[in-house]
Chain A
Amino acid sequence: MTSAIINRETMEQTPITTALAVRNLSVFFGANEVLKKVSLDIVPRAVTAIIGPSGCGKSTFLRALNRMHELNPEARMTGEIRLFGDDIYARAVEPVIVRRRVGMVFQKSNPFPTMTISENVTVGLRLNGVRDKRLLAERTEQSLRMAALWDEVKDRLNTAAISLSGGQQQRLCIARALAVQPEVLLMDEPASALDQLATSKIEDLILDLKKKYTIVIVTHNMQQAARASDFTAFFYLGELVEFGTTTKIFTSPSQKRTEDYVTGRFG
């Protein structure tokens, strides 16, 4: 997806090739500065992994990308984030709108327990007013296929969502997020609660999804980052220490702190 920023004075168009342009992002929880002037560009249709030791701010960073950090009443941010050129923190922009364009999948899968599988997939659409049954059915199949879950559940779409296994539930949550057709998909340690086989399936799924979506994934598992991502950002104590291609970060990082973390000397 390309769009452009138009300079009002010169009418010059700059094409956007960045999915999310983060500039000097700082996030405060009360007096605590959790993210310190982070700047980076998320590349579209690619997977960017965010790594770092506990408490380095990687989850906070992820949540700032869809304004979910605002759920904490003491949260404050400075800086700018542009989603394909649009300032997501502009005064006129509702967080709800941002979250429809930037979806999120969480560490612990959380399909809604009172709903069936198909109801879970379409909940984002239905609660936003979509009534067309044909559209909902189409979207259900489409999303479940994209999440590599369709074949396993196509015969029981009306059964309880919580009757699925852990790995299936997580893929259901991915389908649910995809059903609203976001442009970017954020994933917060999506496979950390799963066994090895389910984790592999999720990683394969990510590699497949990046053909259409921009994906940002937080992970504490470096092998996962090495396997599944194209770019990697290393955070430490709220700062972005290094950002580059995954191959470079994991074979020859430029920063000593990155080298120390990646070789397991701390964290």
Chain B
Amino acid sequence: MESNSEVSLEMLKQKLLTMASHAETAVNEALQALQARDTDLALRVKEKDRVIDHLEVEIDDLVIQLLTRAPLASNLRLVTIAMKISQDLERIGDEATKIAKRARDLAEEPPVKIVLDLPRMARLALDMLKDALDAFVNRDSTAARAVIPRDKEVDGLNKHIHNLLAQHMVEHTDTIARCLHLMVVSKSLERIADHATNVAEDVVYLCEAQDIRHTGMKSQPVLA
């Protein structure tokens, strides 16, 4: 029979995963609204962000409750990173909302004639998030560490898209407003990848009790 505290910790994990699922859906739907120029979908994404925000509050409350029981060792680490992961997920939800807003703005004007691989960027960022969360569920520190270097690729893509858009704006000054919107979308996707990286770092801390934030050596574990 599971103890009372084990039940609560399970509940915490489940809530995080639920919140993550909502965040993933929000990003996907926002991208879809952008590509399909679907203003209704964009609006729905914005409204559903409220659910994500609520979940953040619920998780934080649950964390406080669990802390009064003075958890120790791995339970302590789990509870503290739960708070941080929920924060990152909430920010991802906010970025999705930003993308949805720009999607609405862009849908009101004719499309820009430029090929940008925004879907690929979204795919990369969302895969990073999924892998970080899988690592969380499976307590797989190696898998979490593997996520971190992928941020570079997303950063590179963002820069590339940024340059393409900048050049287009210079050549076609009537598209400046629309290009700026697209730049914001790209930036948001880059931020989403950053948040996924944070989640991966938190998972490493949970598994190894190593805080690898802000250090240069992110891919090699210190303990063999």
Contact between chain A and chain B defined by CB under 8 Å: yes
Contact partners of B71 in chain A: CB under 8 A = 263
Most B-side CB within 10 Å, residue of A251, A253, A259: A251
Over the window 209-238 of chain A, the binary record of Cβ atoms lying under 8 Å from chain B Cβ atoms (1 yes, 0 no) is 000000000000011001000000000000
Contact partners of A253 in chain B: CB under 8 A = 73
Contact partners of B224 in chain A: CB under 8 A = none
Contact partners of B74 in chain A: CB under 8 A = 252, 259, 263
Contact of A259 among B5, B70, B73, B208 (CB under 8 A): B73
A250 at interface by CB-CB < 8 Å: yes
B91 at interface by CB-CB < 8 Å: no
A226–B209 CA distance with the chains assembled, in angstroms: 17
A262 at interface by CB-CB < 8 Å: yes
| Contact between chains at B73 and A251 (CB < 8 Å) | yes
A251–B5 CA distance with the chains assembled, in angstroms: 17
Chain B proximity of A232: nearest CB distance (Å):
11
- CB<8 Å pairs between A and B, sample of 9: A222-B72, A223-B70, A250-B72, A251-B73, A252-B208, A259-B74, A262-B72, A263-B72, A264-B5
Contact of A226 among B72, B75, B77 (CB under 8 A): B72
A251–B73 CA distance with the chains assembled, in angstroms: 4
A226–B208 CA distance with the chains assembled, in angstroms: 20
Contact partners of A251 in chain B: CB under 8 A = 72-73, 76-77, 209
Which residues of A come within 8 Å of B, CB atoms?
222-223, 226, 249-253, 258-259, 262-264
Dominant SS among interface residues on chain B: helix
Contact A263:B70 (CB < 8 A) given known A251-B209, A252-B209: no
Contact A264:B3 (CB < 8 A) given known A251-B72, A252-B209: yes
| Contact between chains at B70 and A252 (CB < 8 Å) | no
Number of interface residues of B (CB under 8 A): 12
Chain B proximity of A7: nearest CB distance (Å):
36
Known: A252-B209, A262-B72; 17 extra A-B contacts, CB below 8 A, are A222-B72, A226-B70, A250-B73, A251-B72, A251-B73, A251-B76, A251-B209, A252-B73, A252-B74, A252-B77, A253-B73, A258-B73, A259-B74, A262-B73, A263-B73, A263-B75, A264-B5
Over the window 201-220 of chain B, the binary record of Cβ atoms lying under 8 Å from chain A Cβ atoms (1 yes, 0 no) is 00000001100000000000
Over the window 52-74 of chain B, the binary record of Cβ atoms lying under 8 Å from chain A Cβ atoms (1 yes, 0 no) is 00000000000000000011111
Contact partners of B76 in chain A: CB under 8 A = 250-251
Which A-B residue pairs are the 7 nearest by beta carbons?
A: A252-B209, A262-B72, A262-B73, A250-B72, A263-B75, A223-B70, A259-B73
Contact partners of B5 in chain A: CB under 8 A = 264
A251–B75 CA distance with the chains assembled, in angstroms: 9
A264–B6 CA distance with the chains assembled, in angstroms: 10
- Among residues of A, the one whose C-beta sits closest to the C-beta of B210 is A252
- Among residues of B, the one whose C-beta sits closest to the C-beta of A225 is B72
- Among residues of A, the one whose C-beta sits closest to the C-beta of B76 is A251
A262–B75 CA distance with the chains assembled, in angstroms: 9
A226–B70 CA distance with the chains assembled, in angstroms: 10
Chain A proximity of B84: nearest CB distance (Å):
16
A7–B164 CA distance with the chains assembled, in angstroms: 77
- Among residues of A, the one whose C-beta sits closest to the C-beta of B73 is A262
Contact partners of B70 in chain A: CB under 8 A = 222-223, 226
Chain B proximity of A264: nearest CB distance (Å):
7
Chain B proximity of A244: nearest CB distance (Å):
12
A262–B5 CA distance with the chains assembled, in angstroms: 13
Contact partners of B75 in chain A: CB under 8 A = 263
Contact partners of A222 in chain B: CB under 8 A = 70, 72
Most A-side CB within 10 Å, residue of B74, B77, B208: B74
Contact partners of A252 in chain B: CB under 8 A = 73-74, 77, 208-209
- Among residues of A, the one whose C-beta sits closest to the C-beta of B78 is A263
- Among residues of A, the one whose C-beta sits closest to the C-beta of B209 is A252
Over the window 158-179 of chain B, the binary record of Cβ atoms lying under 8 Å from chain A Cβ atoms (1 yes, 0 no) is 0000000000000000000000
A54–B33 CA distance with the chains assembled, in angstroms: 62
Chain A proximity of B65: nearest CB distance (Å):
16
Over the window 1-29 of chain B, the binary record of Cβ atoms lying under 8 Å from chain A Cβ atoms (1 yes, 0 no) is 00101000000000000000000000000
A222–B72 CA distance with the chains assembled, in angstroms: 9
Chain A proximity of B81: nearest CB distance (Å):
12
Contact partners of A258 in chain B: CB under 8 A = 73
Chain A proximity of B204: nearest CB distance (Å):
12
A258–B72 CA distance with the chains assembled, in angstroms: 11
